Amino acid sequence: MLEKAGAAQAAPGAVLETSGGANQVRVRAYNERLVMSLVRRHAGLSKADIARRSGLSAQTVTVIMRALEGEGLLIRGTPVRGRVGQPSVPMRLNPDAVFSFGLKIGRRSADLVLMDFVGRIRMQVHRTYPYPMPGFLLAFIAEGIAEIEARLTPEERGRIAGIGIAAPFELWSWAEEVGAPQSDMNQWHGVDLQAEIEARVAYPVFLQNDATSACAAELVFGVGPHYPDFIYFFIGSFIGGGVVLNSALFSGRTGTAGAVGSLPVQRRDGKTVQLLKIASIFVLENLLREHGINPETLWYSAEDWVDFGEPLEIWIQDTAAALAQAIVASASVIDFSAAVIDGGFPAWVRERVVVATRAAVKQLDLQGVVLPEIVEGAVGSQARSVGGASLPLFSRYLLDQNVLFKELA
Protein backbone atom coordinates (compact mmCIF):
# COMPACT_ATOMS: atom_id res chain seq x y z
CA MET A 1 0.00 0.00 0.00
CA LEU A 2 0.96 3.64 -0.25
CA GLU A 3 3.43 3.28 -3.07
CA LYS A 4 4.74 6.40 -4.75
CA ALA A 5 5.00 6.56 -8.54
CA GLY A 6 8.30 4.87 -7.97
CA ALA A 7 8.42 3.77 -4.34
CA ALA A 8 8.38 5.33 -0.93
CA GLN A 9 11.79 5.06 0.70
CA ALA A 10 12.09 2.61 3.56
CA ALA A 11 12.66 4.10 6.97
CA PRO A 12 15.98 3.42 8.69
CA GLY A 13 15.57 0.57 11.09
CA ALA A 14 12.29 -0.60 9.57
CA VAL A 15 10.89 -3.65 11.32
CA LEU A 16 10.71 -5.84 8.24
CA GLU A 17 13.39 -6.24 5.61
CA THR A 18 12.32 -7.26 2.12
CA SER A 19 15.64 -8.33 0.64
CA GLY A 20 17.28 -11.72 0.88
CA GLY A 21 15.87 -14.99 2.10
CA ALA A 22 13.89 -15.85 5.19
CA ASN A 23 15.28 -16.15 8.69
CA GLN A 24 13.77 -16.40 12.15
CA VAL A 25 14.13 -12.68 12.91
CA ARG A 26 12.47 -11.70 9.64
CA VAL A 27 9.66 -14.18 10.07
CA ARG A 28 8.93 -12.93 13.57
CA ALA A 29 9.01 -9.30 12.38
CA TYR A 30 6.58 -10.19 9.61
CA ASN A 31 4.27 -11.97 12.03
CA GLU A 32 4.35 -9.01 14.44
CA ARG A 33 3.29 -6.71 11.61
CA LEU A 34 0.58 -9.15 10.59
CA VAL A 35 -0.83 -9.25 14.11
CA MET A 36 -0.83 -5.46 14.49
CA SER A 37 -2.38 -5.01 11.05
CA LEU A 38 -5.19 -7.45 11.78
CA VAL A 39 -5.87 -5.77 15.11
CA ARG A 40 -5.97 -2.37 13.37
CA ARG A 41 -8.28 -3.55 10.61
CA HIS A 42 -10.78 -5.13 12.99
CA ALA A 43 -10.48 -2.48 15.73
CA GLY A 44 -9.50 -5.14 18.24
CA LEU A 45 -9.21 -8.94 18.24
CA SER A 46 -8.70 -11.68 20.79
CA LYS A 47 -5.77 -14.10 20.60
CA ALA A 48 -8.07 -16.83 19.32
CA ASP A 49 -9.46 -14.57 16.58
CA ILE A 50 -5.96 -13.58 15.47
CA ALA A 51 -4.82 -17.21 15.35
CA ARG A 52 -7.85 -18.13 13.25
CA ARG A 53 -7.52 -15.21 10.84
CA SER A 54 -3.74 -15.32 10.44
CA GLY A 55 -3.14 -19.08 10.34
CA LEU A 56 -0.52 -18.72 13.09
CA SER A 57 -0.50 -21.17 15.97
CA ALA A 58 -2.10 -20.15 19.24
CA GLN A 59 1.30 -20.40 20.96
CA THR A 60 2.95 -18.12 18.38
CA VAL A 61 0.17 -15.56 18.69
CA THR A 62 0.44 -15.61 22.48
CA VAL A 63 4.19 -14.98 22.37
CA ILE A 64 3.85 -12.17 19.82
CA MET A 65 0.99 -10.43 21.59
CA ARG A 66 2.75 -10.64 24.94
CA ALA A 67 5.80 -8.98 23.38
CA LEU A 68 3.77 -6.28 21.64
CA GLU A 69 1.86 -5.57 24.83
CA GLY A 70 5.13 -5.34 26.72
CA GLU A 71 6.41 -2.78 24.20
CA GLY A 72 3.23 -0.74 24.65
CA LEU A 73 2.05 -1.24 21.06
CA LEU A 74 -1.04 -3.22 22.08
CA ILE A 75 -3.40 -2.67 25.01
CA ARG A 76 -6.13 -4.84 26.49
CA GLY A 77 -9.76 -4.06 25.83
CA THR A 78 -12.78 -4.87 27.96
CA PRO A 79 -13.21 -8.66 28.44
CA VAL A 80 -16.08 -10.16 26.46
CA ARG A 81 -17.91 -12.91 28.28
CA GLY A 82 -19.15 -15.82 26.25
CA ARG A 83 -21.30 -18.77 27.15
CA VAL A 84 -18.48 -21.13 28.13
CA GLY A 85 -15.00 -20.72 29.56
CA GLN A 86 -12.90 -17.70 30.36
CA PRO A 87 -13.90 -14.30 28.95
CA SER A 88 -12.25 -13.29 25.69
CA VAL A 89 -9.95 -10.25 25.95
CA PRO A 90 -9.71 -8.21 22.73
CA MET A 91 -6.39 -6.48 22.09
CA ARG A 92 -6.29 -3.04 20.49
CA LEU A 93 -3.60 -0.78 19.09
CA ASN A 94 -2.41 1.68 21.70
CA PRO A 95 -3.19 5.12 20.23
CA ASP A 96 -0.33 6.67 22.22
CA ALA A 97 2.27 4.10 21.19
CA VAL A 98 3.37 5.76 17.96
CA PHE A 99 2.93 9.16 16.36
CA SER A 100 3.70 10.42 12.87
CA PHE A 101 3.70 13.71 11.03
CA GLY A 102 1.66 14.19 7.88
CA LEU A 103 2.21 17.15 5.58
CA LYS A 104 -0.28 18.15 2.89
CA ILE A 105 1.03 20.61 0.32
CA GLY A 106 -1.79 22.19 -1.63
CA ARG A 107 -1.99 24.90 -4.26
CA ARG A 108 -3.42 27.40 -1.76
CA SER A 109 -2.61 26.02 1.68
CA ALA A 110 -0.48 23.57 3.63
CA ASP A 111 -1.34 21.47 6.68
CA LEU A 112 1.03 19.74 9.06
CA VAL A 113 -0.64 17.24 11.39
CA LEU A 114 0.48 14.92 14.16
CA MET A 115 -1.42 11.63 13.92
CA ASP A 116 -1.58 8.83 16.47
CA PHE A 117 -1.31 5.08 15.92
CA VAL A 118 -5.03 4.63 15.15
CA GLY A 119 -5.35 7.50 12.67
CA ARG A 120 -6.59 10.32 14.89
CA ILE A 121 -5.18 13.80 14.35
CA ARG A 122 -3.83 15.13 17.64
CA MET A 123 -2.39 18.49 16.55
CA GLN A 124 -2.38 20.62 13.42
CA VAL A 125 -0.64 23.68 11.98
CA HIS A 126 -2.19 25.42 8.95
CA ARG A 127 -0.84 28.01 6.51
CA THR A 128 -2.38 29.70 3.47
CA TYR A 129 -0.57 31.36 0.56
CA PRO A 130 -1.33 32.70 -2.93
CA TYR A 131 0.64 29.81 -4.42
CA PRO A 132 3.22 27.33 -3.09
CA MET A 133 6.91 28.26 -3.17
CA PRO A 134 9.77 25.95 -2.11
CA GLY A 135 11.42 28.35 0.33
CA PHE A 136 8.21 29.19 2.16
CA LEU A 137 7.16 25.55 2.46
CA LEU A 138 10.52 24.33 3.70
CA ALA A 139 10.51 27.03 6.38
CA PHE A 140 6.91 26.13 7.32
CA ILE A 141 7.81 22.46 7.75
CA ALA A 142 10.70 23.23 10.09
CA GLU A 143 8.69 25.78 12.06
CA GLY A 144 5.57 23.62 12.20
CA ILE A 145 7.44 20.56 13.47
CA ALA A 146 9.17 22.67 16.12
CA GLU A 147 5.82 24.14 17.16
CA ILE A 148 4.23 20.72 17.59
CA GLU A 149 7.28 19.21 19.25
CA ALA A 150 7.23 21.99 21.84
CA ARG A 151 3.79 20.76 22.94
CA LEU A 152 4.97 17.17 23.42
CA THR A 153 6.85 15.55 26.25
CA PRO A 154 10.34 14.13 25.54
CA GLU A 155 8.82 10.63 25.78
CA GLU A 156 6.15 11.49 23.20
CA ARG A 157 8.73 13.00 20.85
CA GLY A 158 10.65 9.75 21.05
CA ARG A 159 7.63 7.88 19.67
CA ILE A 160 7.45 9.81 16.37
CA ALA A 161 7.99 7.37 13.51
CA GLY A 162 8.58 9.87 10.71
CA ILE A 163 6.98 12.40 8.40
CA GLY A 164 4.93 11.58 5.32
CA ILE A 165 4.42 14.22 2.63
CA ALA A 166 1.37 14.34 0.38
CA ALA A 167 2.13 16.73 -2.47
CA PRO A 168 1.04 17.25 -6.07
CA PHE A 169 3.61 16.15 -8.60
CA GLU A 170 4.84 18.69 -11.16
CA LEU A 171 3.75 21.74 -9.16
CA TRP A 172 5.14 24.01 -11.86
CA SER A 173 2.52 22.78 -14.33
CA TRP A 174 -0.40 24.74 -12.85
CA ALA A 175 0.86 28.33 -12.82
CA GLU A 176 -1.94 29.68 -15.02
CA GLU A 177 -4.75 27.96 -13.09
CA VAL A 178 -3.58 29.25 -9.69
CA GLY A 179 -2.72 32.69 -11.00
CA ALA A 180 0.99 32.39 -10.29
CA PRO A 181 3.83 33.80 -12.39
CA GLN A 182 5.37 30.97 -14.39
CA SER A 183 8.82 32.24 -13.44
CA ASP A 184 8.00 31.70 -9.76
CA MET A 185 6.54 28.24 -10.26
CA ASN A 186 9.56 27.24 -12.33
CA GLN A 187 11.53 27.29 -9.09
CA TRP A 188 10.08 23.84 -8.44
CA HIS A 189 12.08 22.41 -11.34
CA GLY A 190 14.88 20.29 -9.94
CA VAL A 191 13.68 20.50 -6.32
CA ASP A 192 14.02 17.14 -4.58
CA LEU A 193 11.40 17.79 -1.92
CA GLN A 194 12.08 14.60 0.00
CA ALA A 195 15.83 15.27 0.18
CA GLU A 196 15.32 18.92 1.11
CA ILE A 197 13.05 18.01 4.01
CA GLU A 198 15.30 15.17 5.16
CA ALA A 199 18.11 17.72 5.48
CA ARG A 200 15.98 19.82 7.86
CA VAL A 201 14.28 17.28 10.14
CA ALA A 202 15.42 14.48 12.42
CA TYR A 203 12.91 11.92 11.15
CA PRO A 204 12.60 9.51 8.20
CA VAL A 205 10.79 11.23 5.33
CA PHE A 206 8.36 9.66 2.84
CA LEU A 207 6.78 11.23 -0.24
CA GLN A 208 3.54 10.39 -2.05
CA ASN A 209 1.22 12.09 -4.53
CA ASP A 210 -1.48 14.01 -2.66
CA ALA A 211 -4.49 12.40 -4.35
CA THR A 212 -3.01 8.91 -3.96
CA SER A 213 -2.42 9.66 -0.28
CA ALA A 214 -6.05 10.68 0.11
CA CYS A 215 -7.19 7.47 -1.59
CA ALA A 216 -4.94 5.43 0.71
CA ALA A 217 -6.41 7.16 3.76
CA GLU A 218 -9.92 6.30 2.55
CA LEU A 219 -8.88 2.70 1.97
CA VAL A 220 -7.39 2.30 5.44
CA PHE A 221 -9.41 4.65 7.66
CA GLY A 222 -12.58 5.27 5.65
CA VAL A 223 -15.01 3.19 3.60
CA GLY A 224 -12.30 0.88 2.26
CA PRO A 225 -13.24 -2.17 4.35
CA HIS A 226 -16.76 -2.09 2.86
CA TYR A 227 -15.79 -1.87 -0.83
CA PRO A 228 -13.07 -4.15 -2.28
CA ASP A 229 -12.96 -2.19 -5.55
CA PHE A 230 -13.64 1.52 -5.89
CA ILE A 231 -12.81 4.58 -7.94
CA TYR A 232 -11.91 7.54 -5.74
CA PHE A 233 -12.33 11.25 -6.40
CA PHE A 234 -10.82 13.91 -4.15
CA ILE A 235 -11.83 17.46 -5.06
CA GLY A 236 -9.07 19.82 -4.05
CA SER A 237 -7.71 22.87 -5.83
CA PHE A 238 -7.48 20.35 -8.67
CA ILE A 239 -9.42 17.11 -8.61
CA GLY A 240 -7.40 13.93 -8.29
CA GLY A 241 -8.08 10.40 -7.24
CA GLY A 242 -7.09 6.79 -7.15
CA VAL A 243 -8.08 3.23 -7.98
CA VAL A 244 -8.55 0.45 -5.42
CA LEU A 245 -8.70 -3.15 -6.66
CA ASN A 246 -8.98 -6.19 -4.41
CA SER A 247 -8.72 -3.89 -1.39
CA ALA A 248 -5.33 -2.51 -2.43
CA LEU A 249 -4.19 0.63 -4.20
CA PHE A 250 -3.56 0.06 -7.89
CA SER A 251 -0.90 2.42 -9.21
CA GLY A 252 -0.44 0.90 -12.67
CA ARG A 253 2.60 0.36 -14.87
CA THR A 254 3.90 3.94 -14.55
CA GLY A 255 2.36 4.81 -11.20
CA THR A 256 -0.24 7.14 -12.68
CA ALA A 257 -3.34 4.94 -12.51
CA GLY A 258 -6.21 6.85 -10.97
CA ALA A 259 -5.24 10.22 -12.43
CA VAL A 260 -8.92 11.00 -12.77
CA GLY A 261 -8.38 14.70 -13.39
CA SER A 262 -7.34 13.91 -16.95
CA LEU A 263 -10.58 12.11 -17.85
CA PRO A 264 -12.37 13.77 -20.80
CA VAL A 265 -15.87 15.08 -20.04
CA GLN A 266 -18.31 17.45 -21.72
CA ARG A 267 -19.09 20.92 -20.45
CA ARG A 268 -22.50 22.56 -20.60
CA ASP A 269 -21.65 23.98 -24.06
CA GLY A 270 -20.78 20.52 -25.38
CA LYS A 271 -17.04 21.14 -25.53
CA THR A 272 -14.86 18.28 -24.28
CA VAL A 273 -12.36 19.21 -21.58
CA GLN A 274 -10.51 17.41 -18.81
CA LEU A 275 -12.42 16.71 -15.62
CA LEU A 276 -10.12 18.98 -13.62
CA LYS A 277 -11.24 21.98 -15.70
CA ILE A 278 -14.73 21.62 -14.20
CA ALA A 279 -14.66 19.66 -10.94
CA SER A 280 -11.90 21.55 -9.12
CA ILE A 281 -12.04 24.17 -6.40
CA PHE A 282 -10.02 26.63 -8.48
CA VAL A 283 -13.04 26.75 -10.82
CA LEU A 284 -15.26 27.74 -7.89
CA GLU A 285 -12.67 30.34 -6.90
CA ASN A 286 -12.87 31.95 -10.33
CA LEU A 287 -16.67 31.74 -10.30
CA LEU A 288 -16.84 33.57 -6.98
CA ARG A 289 -14.65 36.34 -8.37
CA GLU A 290 -16.97 36.68 -11.36
CA HIS A 291 -19.86 37.17 -8.90
CA GLY A 292 -17.95 39.79 -6.94
CA ILE A 293 -17.26 37.49 -3.96
CA ASN A 294 -13.85 37.31 -2.28
CA PRO A 295 -12.75 33.64 -2.60
CA GLU A 296 -10.01 33.77 0.04
CA THR A 297 -12.27 32.17 2.66
CA LEU A 298 -12.06 28.92 0.67
CA TRP A 299 -8.50 28.41 1.89
CA TYR A 300 -8.65 29.55 5.53
CA SER A 301 -10.27 26.34 6.73
CA ALA A 302 -11.73 23.53 4.67
CA GLU A 303 -14.34 22.91 7.37
CA ASP A 304 -15.57 26.51 7.66
CA TRP A 305 -16.96 27.39 4.24
CA VAL A 306 -20.04 29.54 4.09
CA ASP A 307 -22.86 28.94 1.63
CA PHE A 308 -21.93 31.19 -1.28
CA GLY A 309 -25.38 30.83 -2.78
CA GLU A 310 -25.80 30.85 -6.56
CA PRO A 311 -22.14 30.48 -7.61
CA LEU A 312 -21.69 27.53 -5.24
CA GLU A 313 -24.82 25.85 -6.60
CA ILE A 314 -23.66 26.40 -10.21
CA TRP A 315 -20.31 24.84 -9.36
CA ILE A 316 -21.90 21.87 -7.57
CA GLN A 317 -24.21 21.13 -10.50
CA ASP A 318 -21.40 21.43 -13.07
CA THR A 319 -19.10 19.31 -10.91
CA ALA A 320 -21.78 16.67 -10.47
CA ALA A 321 -22.49 16.50 -14.22
CA ALA A 322 -18.77 16.03 -14.93
CA LEU A 323 -18.32 13.48 -12.14
CA ALA A 324 -21.29 11.49 -13.43
CA GLN A 325 -19.63 11.18 -16.84
CA ALA A 326 -16.33 10.17 -15.26
CA ILE A 327 -18.00 7.53 -13.08
CA VAL A 328 -19.88 5.98 -16.01
CA ALA A 329 -16.71 5.92 -18.12
CA SER A 330 -14.77 4.28 -15.28
CA ALA A 331 -17.51 1.72 -14.63
CA SER A 332 -17.46 0.79 -18.31
CA VAL A 333 -13.85 -0.38 -17.90
CA ILE A 334 -13.81 -1.83 -14.39
CA ASP A 335 -16.76 -3.20 -12.45
CA PHE A 336 -16.22 -0.99 -9.39
CA SER A 337 -18.39 -1.63 -6.36
CA ALA A 338 -18.33 2.06 -5.42
CA ALA A 339 -17.41 5.54 -6.57
CA VAL A 340 -16.20 7.47 -3.52
CA ILE A 341 -16.33 11.29 -3.54
CA ASP A 342 -14.54 13.48 -1.00
CA GLY A 343 -12.83 16.84 -1.00
CA GLY A 344 -11.26 19.76 0.76
CA PHE A 345 -14.55 21.21 1.92
CA PRO A 346 -17.15 20.75 4.70
CA ALA A 347 -19.26 17.62 4.95
CA TRP A 348 -22.40 19.54 3.90
CA VAL A 349 -20.76 20.49 0.60
CA ARG A 350 -19.65 16.91 0.04
CA GLU A 351 -23.21 15.69 0.67
CA ARG A 352 -24.61 18.15 -1.89
CA VAL A 353 -22.04 17.10 -4.48
CA VAL A 354 -22.82 13.40 -3.98
CA VAL A 355 -26.59 13.92 -4.11
CA ALA A 356 -26.24 15.99 -7.29
CA THR A 357 -23.94 13.39 -8.84
CA ARG A 358 -26.43 10.58 -8.20
CA ALA A 359 -29.09 12.68 -9.93
CA ALA A 360 -26.81 13.56 -12.86
CA VAL A 361 -25.93 9.91 -13.52
CA LYS A 362 -29.61 9.17 -14.14
CA GLN A 363 -29.57 11.60 -17.07
CA LEU A 364 -26.90 9.58 -18.94
CA ASP A 365 -27.19 6.62 -21.29
CA LEU A 366 -26.48 3.68 -18.99
CA GLN A 367 -27.11 0.84 -21.40
CA GLY A 368 -24.59 -1.93 -20.69
CA VAL A 369 -23.21 -0.15 -17.61
CA VAL A 370 -23.47 -1.56 -14.10
CA LEU A 371 -23.31 1.54 -11.94
CA PRO A 372 -21.22 1.48 -8.78
CA GLU A 373 -22.69 2.81 -5.57
CA ILE A 374 -21.94 6.54 -5.36
CA VAL A 375 -20.95 7.30 -1.77
CA GLU A 376 -19.40 10.00 0.35
CA GLY A 377 -15.84 9.59 1.56
CA ALA A 378 -15.49 9.07 5.31
CA VAL A 379 -12.09 10.66 5.99
CA GLY A 380 -12.96 14.18 4.90
CA SER A 381 -10.92 17.25 4.14
CA GLN A 382 -7.85 15.94 6.01
CA ALA A 383 -7.57 12.83 3.81
CA ARG A 384 -4.32 13.97 2.20
CA SER A 385 -2.66 14.76 5.53
CA VAL A 386 -3.87 11.48 7.05
CA GLY A 387 -2.63 9.53 4.05
CA GLY A 388 0.76 11.19 4.31
CA ALA A 389 0.99 10.48 8.04
CA SER A 390 0.20 6.82 7.34
CA LEU A 391 3.38 6.35 5.33
CA PRO A 392 5.79 6.08 8.28
CA LEU A 393 3.41 3.82 10.18
CA PHE A 394 3.11 1.31 7.36
CA SER A 395 6.82 1.43 6.69
CA ARG A 396 7.73 0.45 10.26
CA TYR A 397 4.78 -1.30 11.87
CA LEU A 398 2.02 -2.49 9.56
CA LEU A 399 1.42 -4.58 6.47
CA ASP A 400 -0.29 -3.49 3.29
CA GLN A 401 -3.89 -4.34 2.52
CA ASN A 402 -2.99 -7.11 0.05
CA VAL A 403 -1.72 -9.22 2.94
CA LEU A 404 -4.67 -8.49 5.20
CA PHE A 405 -7.20 -9.71 2.71
CA LYS A 406 -5.50 -13.09 2.48
CA GLU A 407 -6.96 -13.95 5.88
CA LEU A 408 -8.10 -17.51 6.28
CA ALA A 409 -11.49 -16.44 7.66
pLDDT tens, position by position, for the chain (409 residues)? 333 333 333 333 333 333 334 466 678 788 998 899 889 888 889 999 999 998 899 999 999 999 999 999 999 987 777 656 566 789 999 999 999 999 999 888 999 999 999 999 999 999 999 889 999 999 999 999 999 999 999 999 999 999 999 998 888 887 777 778 999 899 998 899 999 999 999 999 999 999 999 999 999 899 998 999 999 999 999 999 999 998 888 888 887 889 999 999 999 999 999 999 999 999 999 999 999 999 988 888 888 899 999 999 999 999 999 999 999 999 999 999 999 999 999 999 999 999 999 999 999 999 999 999 999 999 999 999 999 999 999 888 877 554 444 443 3
Check residue 252 and give its pLDDT. 86
- Calpha distance 368→272 (Å, rounded): 23
Pairing of strands 230-235, 264-266: unpaired
Q: Annotate 139-149 with b (16+ C-beta within 10 A) or e (fewer).
A: ebbeebbeebb
pLDDT of residue 179: 79
How far is Cα 312 from Cα 180, in angstroms, rounded to an integer? Answer: 24
What is this structure's pTM?
A: 0.84
Output phi, psi for 88, to 5 deg: -80, 135
d(CA 171, CA 242): 19
Domain architecture of the chain: domains with CATH: 24-96+396-404 (1.10.10.10), 99-213+385-394 (3.30.420.40), 223-378 (3.30.420.40)
Cα–Cα nearest to 1, from 218, 271, 179, 192: 218
373-376 vs 338-343, strand pairing mode: parallel
Angstrom CA distances, 268 to 42, 116, 291, 308, 385, stand at 45, 45, 19, 21, 34
For residues 113 and 149, give the distance between their C-alpha atoms in angstroms, rounded to a whole number.
11
How close are the terminal C-alpha atoms of the chain, in Å?
21
